[in-house]
Structure 1
Amino acid sequence: MGELRADWRLRLRREDAHGPVCGAGVLVDQYTALTCAHVVRRPDAVMWLEFAENSALEPVSARVLPGGWLPERADGEDVAVLRLDSPRPQARRALLDPGLWGGMEVYTTGYAEGFDGGVSLWGRIGGVSGERVQLDAVIESEAVRAGFGGAAVCTRPREGSPVRVVGLVVSRRGDPVAVLPDDRRLSFSYLVPVERIAELSPVVKELIGPHAWDHGFEERLHRWFDDPDEDPVKITVVPPGSGKDRSLRQLTHRAHVVHRGGASRPDLIDHALGRIAFPASEYLAYWDWLRGAKPRPARAADCAPGRPVTVLVDGLDEEPRPGALIDILARLRVLGFRLLLVFRQEGGLGWTASRDRLLQPALLAHADLLLERLQRAEFSQAIRRGLVDSASLDSVTETADRHRAVRRLIDDVRDPQQQLTRLRALIKDLRADLSRHGPR
Structure 2
Amino acid sequence: MGELRADWRLRLRREDAHGPVCGAGVLVDQYTALTCAHVVRRPDAVMWLEFAENGGLEPVSARVMSGGWLPEGADGEDVAVLRLDSPRPRARRAPLETGIRGGMEVYATGYAAGFDDGMSLWGRIGGASGERVQLDAVTRSEVVRAGFSGAGVCTRPEEGRPARVVGLVVSWRGDLGASLPEDNRLSFSYLIPVGRIAELSPVIAELTGPGAWDHGFEERLERWFDDPDEDPVKITVVEPGSGKERSLRQLAHRARIVHRGGASRPELIDHALEQVTFPPGEYLAYWDWLRGAKGMPARAADRAPQRPVTVLVDGLDQEPQPGPLIEILGRSRVFGFRLLLVFRQEGGPGWAASRDLLLRPALLRHADTLLDRLQRAEFSRAIRRDIVDSASLGSVTETADRHRATRRLLDDVRDPQQQLNRLRTLIRTVRADLSRCGDR
Query: Shorter-chain-normalised TM-score: which range?
Result: over 0.9
Instruction: Say whether 1:180 aligns with 2:181.
Output: yes
Deviation string, structure 1 residues 34-89 (Cα, Å, up to 9, x no partner): 00011111111111111111111111111111111111226761100000010000
Matches within 5 A, 1:27-46: 27-46=27-46
Partner amino acid, structure 2, of 1:398:
E
Partner amino acid, structure 1, of 2:244:
K
Alignment correspondent of 2:401: 401
Q: Secondary structure at the match of 1:23?
A: strand
Alignment correspondent of 2:204: 204
Alignment correspondent of 2:334: 334
Q: Secondary structure at the match of 1:280?
A: coil
Matches within 5 A, 1:382-401: 382-401=382-401
1:399 deviates by 1.2
| TM-score for both structures, normalised by structure 1 | 0.97
Partner amino acid, structure 1, of 2:394:
D
Matches within 5 A, 1:217-236: 217-236=217-236
Q: Secondary structure at the match of 2:169?
A: strand
1:439 deviates by 4.5
| Contact in 2 for aligned 1:76/1:131 (Cα 8 Å) | no
Matches within 5 A, 1:238-257: 238-257=238-257
Give me the whole-angstrom Cα distance separating, in 2, the residues matched to 1:406 and 1:142: 64
Give me the whole-angstrom Cα distance separating, in 2, the residues matched to 1:417 and 1:68: 49
1:32 deviates by 0.1
1:177 deviates by 7.2
Which of 321-330 and 167-176 deviates more?
A: 167-176
Q: Secondary structure at the match of 1:166?
A: strand
1:404 deviates by 1.0
| Contact in 1 for aligned 2:310/2:340 (Cα 8 Å) | yes
Q: Which structure 1 segments of 5+ residues have no match? A: none
Give me the whole-angstrom Cα distance separating, in 1, the residues matched to 2:115 and 2:179: 20
Q: Which structure 2 segments of 5+ residues have no match? A: none
| Contact in 2 for aligned 1:237/1:342 (Cα 8 Å) | yes
Alignment correspondent of 2:169: 169
Give me the whole-angstrom Cα distance separating, in 1, the residues matched to 2:122 and 2:207: 26
Q: Secondary structure at the match of 2:67?
A: strand
Which of 20-29 and 430-439 deviates more?
A: 430-439
Give me the whole-angstrom Cα distance separating, in 1, the residues matched to 2:303 and 2:129: 66
Q: Secondary structure at the match of 1:371?
A: helix
| Contact in 1 for aligned 2:311/2:338 (Cα 8 Å) | yes
| Contact in 2 for aligned 1:214/1:247 (Cα 8 Å) | yes
Instruction: Say whether 1:363 aligns with 2:359.
Output: no
| Contact in 2 for aligned 1:100/1:166 (Cα 8 Å) | yes
Alignment correspondent of 1:123: 123
| Contact in 2 for aligned 1:121/1:142 (Cα 8 Å) | yes
| Contact in 1 for aligned 2:37/2:80 (Cα 8 Å) | yes
Q: Secondary structure at the match of 2:282?
A: helix
Q: Secondary structure at the match of 1:352?
A: helix
Q: Secondary structure at the match of 1:359?
A: helix
Q: Secondary structure at the match of 2:386?
A: coil
Alignment correspondent of 2:64: 64
Alignment correspondent of 2:114: 114
| Contact in 1 for aligned 2:141/2:182 (Cα 8 Å) | no
Which of 45-54 and 66-75 deviates more?
A: 66-75
| Contact in 2 for aligned 1:75/1:130 (Cα 8 Å) | no
Partner amino acid, structure 2, of 1:367:
A
Give me the whole-angstrom Cα distance separating, in 2, the residues matched to 1:425 and 1:39: 55
Deviation string, structure 1 residues 228-252 (Cα, Å, up to 9, x no partner): 0000000000000100011111111
Give me the whole-angstrom Cα distance separating, in 2, the residues matched to 1:172 and 1:148: 10
Alignment correspondent of 2:237: 237
Partner amino acid, structure 1, of 2:144:
V
Partner amino acid, structure 1, of 2:325:
L
| Contact in 1 for aligned 2:76/2:200 (Cα 8 Å) | no
Alignment correspondent of 1:89: 89
Partner amino acid, structure 2, of 1:10:
L
Give me the whole-angstrom Cα distance separating, in 2, the residues matched to 1:118 and 1:214: 31
1:142 deviates by 1.3
Instruction: Say whether 1:10 aligns with 2:25.
Output: no
Give me the whole-angstrom Cα distance separating, in 2, the residues matched to 1:212 and 1:15: 32
Give me the whole-angstrom Cα distance separating, in 2, the residues matched to 1:202 and 1:259: 31
| Contact in 2 for aligned 1:286/1:296 (Cα 8 Å) | yes
Pairs aligned (count) = 439
Partner amino acid, structure 2, of 1:14:
R
1:402 deviates by 1.3
Partner amino acid, structure 1, of 2:4:
L
1:304 deviates by 0.9
Partner amino acid, structure 1, of 2:24:
A
Alignment correspondent of 2:148: 148
| Contact in 1 for aligned 2:141/2:181 (Cα 8 Å) | no
| Contact in 2 for aligned 1:197/1:204 (Cα 8 Å) | yes
Partner amino acid, structure 2, of 1:411:
D
Q: Closer, same or farther in 2 for the Cα pair 1:174/1:218, shift >3 Å? A: farther
The CA RMSD over aligned residues, in Å, is 1.4
1:280 deviates by 3.1
| Contact in 2 for aligned 1:76/1:132 (Cα 8 Å) | no
Give me the whole-angstrom Cα distance separating, in 2, the residues matched to 1:389 and 1:187: 78
Give me the whole-angstrom Cα distance separating, in 1, the residues matched to 2:295 and 2:211: 48
Deviation string, structure 1 residues 80-99 (Cα, Å, up to 9, x no partner): 00000100000110111110
1:211 deviates by 0.4
1:5 deviates by 1.1
